[in-house]
Chains A and B, each alone.
Chain A
Amino acid sequence: DIQMTQSPSTLSASVGDRVTITCRASQSISSWLAWYQQKPGKAPKLLIYKASSLESGVPSRFSGSGSGTEFTLTISSLQPDDFATYYCQQYNSYARLTFGGGTKVEIK
């Protein structure tokens, strides 16, 4: 199975900061990568699909980039509602989907 490695596992930041989370795949996944936001007790929410396509209704401060094995999620100006855990997920491998370990964004 394709392994997805996220970094950092925890990130401390302030409102207004630019935040970048990295996700690396153990082999090339083209652009078949999604990013999710999850808050405690809630189901994950899709933010980005196909590495850089913004899901409808998601604020434009969220952006995704990358292809092959290295990907980033960027929040251009962190807002109070953005403190949450973020996961990447590859869907290149037919019927062998995998998630990254998650990045918790905390208040500094």
Chain B
Amino acid sequence: QVQLVQSGAEVKKPGSSVKVSCKASGGTFSSYAISWVRQAPGQGLEWMGRIIPILGIANYAQKFQGRVTITADKSTSTAYMELSSLRSEDTAVYYCATGATSADAFDIWGQGTMVTVSS
């Protein structure tokens, strides 16, 4: 069964960008769709977008269109989420997730990456 391991916590200035990685191990990376979900402190879950590595096709939530880029490197079984023009409201835990049974019902989650946006 695939496991997802994310990069470490980040502190960023407003207006900058952040790139979070999600490395898959123990499974066939390219055949899974990897989604990114974020959770601001004390708030609910918010889907940002996803990529199907084998196709290299990414789709994004309307809210993040133009500000988020999701990519995948099949050679290293790693997915990336880059969020630009950061503002304080982007302070959140960012998760990558996928589903073994159904790509979009997430039974496999990364451990989460805390991104803090502060001047």
* A44 CB contact (under 8 Å) in B45, B46, B62, B102: B45
Interface residues on A, range: 20 to 34
- Residues B47 and A49 in contact, CB atoms below 8 Å apart: no
- Residues A43 and B111 in contact, CB atoms below 8 Å apart: yes
Residues on A with beta carbons closer than 8 Å to the beta carbon of B95 = 43-44
- Residues B101 and A49 in contact, CB atoms below 8 Å apart: yes
- Residues B45 and A91 in contact, CB atoms below 8 Å apart: no
- Residues A97 and B111 in contact, CB atoms below 8 Å apart: no
User: Is B35's CB within 8 Å of the partner chain A?
Assistant: yes
- Residues A87 and B109 in contact, CB atoms below 8 Å apart: no
User: Is B25's CB within 8 Å of the partner chain A?
Assistant: no
Interface residues on B, range: 20 to 34
- Binary interface profile of B, 37-53, with partner A (CB < 8 Å = 1, else 0)? 10000001111011000
Nearest residue, chain A, Cβ from B49: A95
Q: How far is the CA of A32 from the CA of B105 in the complex (A)?
A: 9
Main secondary structure of the interface of A (DSSP, over half): loop
Interfacial residues of chain A within 70-108, with CB under 8 A of chain B in the complex? 87, 89, 91, 94-102
- Residues A43 and B112 in contact, CB atoms below 8 Å apart: yes
- Binary interface profile of B, 50-74, with partner A (CB < 8 Å = 1, else 0)? 1000000001011000000000000
Q: How far is the CA of A102 from the CA of B40 in the complex (A)?
A: 13
- Binary interface profile of B, 82-104, with partner A (CB < 8 Å = 1, else 0)? 00000000000001010101101
Q: How far is the CA of A1 from the CA of B101 in the complex (A)?
A: 24
User: Is B107's CB within 8 Å of the partner chain A?
Assistant: yes
Given contacts A34-B105, A43-B112, contact A97 B62 (CB under 8 A): no
- Residues A101 and B44 in contact, CB atoms below 8 Å apart: yes
Chain B residues packing against A (C-beta within 8 Å)? 35, 37, 44-47, 49-50, 59, 61-62, 95, 97, 99, 101-102, 104-107, 109-112
Write 6 A-B pairs (CB below 8 A) sorted by A numbering.
A44-B109, A87-B45, A94-B59, A96-B61, A97-B50, A98-B47
Chain A residues packing against B (C-beta within 8 Å)? 1, 32, 34, 36, 38, 43-44, 46, 49-50, 55, 87, 89, 91, 94-102
